[in-house]
Amino acid sequence: MSHIAVIDYGSSNLRSVSKALEAVALPGQKVRVTNDPKIIRDCERAVFPGQGAIGDCMNQLKQLDLIESIKHCIASKPFLGICLGLQSLMTYSDENNGIDCLNIFSGNVKRFVRSNNRTSLEKIPHMGWNQVHWTDSHFLTRGIPSGSYFYFVHSYFVDTSSPKIIASSTKYIQEFTSAVSQDNVFATQFHPEKSAKNGLTFLTNFVKWDASSANQTD
């Protein structure tokens, strides 16, 4: 039986992610929440959810000896990052006075800054439903029109120096990157596990995604 590894570094919304994946998993796919490096390395596909502070996240990944297993999955398997799981893939984050991240993608993680408009209703964190505009077609976005709504909760956003990896954008205070993709990796700032029908469609596509096949990129 193949398994989907949901990576547990000690601080994340694991139950909602694992339950959503179990709801859409294919026959023969088992969802395993784990911090065991070997189980993660041996998985068919991996999901890296995250919430909280990037400093705690990176420290826990090091203490649990998970970094090499995560990089192995990123290099070889369908891999989905969610929220902090997206931000951790970048080079550096401004959070916690500056933290080095996994450096899978070039770019930094920055905090939203409110405009000087005193009438602005935009609060930090960005929390709630917002539109996601796809930049290109992808297998994971099949059946989900550009401009569809997904659920967000975050104070920091990705600022990548590689425009070609940007998979979607969203407007809140400013336009920001709300997903990135490259080869077998797709990572989102939004939470598909909290995004009702659109989120379940997205996760259904993920459990079916053959990232090694050219005909499954769009």
What are the structure tokens assigned to 166, written together? 């940007």
Q: Find the mean pLDDT for residues 150-175.
A: 96
pLDDT in the model for residue 210: 93
pLDDT in the model for residue 161: 87
Contacts of 187 (CB under 8 A, 6+ apart): 48, 79, 80, 81, 82, 85, 86, 89, 179, 180, 181
Q: Find the mean pLDDT for residues 5-21.
A: 91
pLDDT in the model for residue 115: 74
For 41-60, write each residue's pLDDT tens digit: 999 999 999 888 999 999 99
Q: Which of 187, 200, 15 is nearest to 101 (CA)?
A: 187
CA distance 162 to 65: 29
How long is the chain? 218
Q: Find the mean pLDDT for residues 19-45.
A: 97
Residue 213 pLDDT > 80: no
pLDDT in the model for residue 25: 97
For 58-87, write each residue's pLDDT tens digit: 999 999 999 999 999 999 999 999 999 999
pLDDT in the model for residue 1: 65
Residues belonging to the active site? 83, 191, 193
CA angle at residue 52 from 49 to 53, to 5 degrees? 115
Q: Which CATH class is domain 2-216?
A: alpha beta
The answer to whether the CB of 178 falls within 8 A of the CB of 129 is: no
pLDDT in the model for residue 121: 72
* 13-17, 55-59, 155-159, 179-183, range with the lowest pLDDT: 13-17
Is cis: bond before 125, omega within 30 of 0? Answer: yes
* 106-115, 153-162, 165-174, 207-216, range with the lowest pLDDT: 207-216
Mean pLDDT of the chain: 94
Q: Which of 166, 164, 192, 165 is nearest to 177 (CA)?
A: 166
The answer to whether the CB of 46 falls within 8 A of the CB of 77 is: yes
pLDDT in the model for residue 126: 96
pLDDT in the model for residue 101: 97
State the SS3 of the chain: CEEEEEECCCCCCHHHHHHHHHHHCCCCEEEEEECCHHHHHCCCEEEEEECCCHHHHHHHHHHCCCHHHHHHHHHHCCEEEEEHHHHCCCCEECHHHCEECCCCCCEEEEECCCCCCCCCCCCCCEEEEEEEEECCCCHHHCCCCCCEEEEEEECEEEEECCHHHEEEEEEECEEEEEEEEECCEEEECCEHHHCHHHHHHHHHHHHHCCCCCHHHCC
Confidence of residue 118 (pLDDT cuts 50, 70, 90): low
CA distance 194 to 95: 24
pLDDT in the model for residue 215: 47
Q: Against a cut of 0.75, is the pTM above it?
A: yes
* 16-20, 56-60, 116-120, 205-209, range with the lowest pLDDT: 116-120
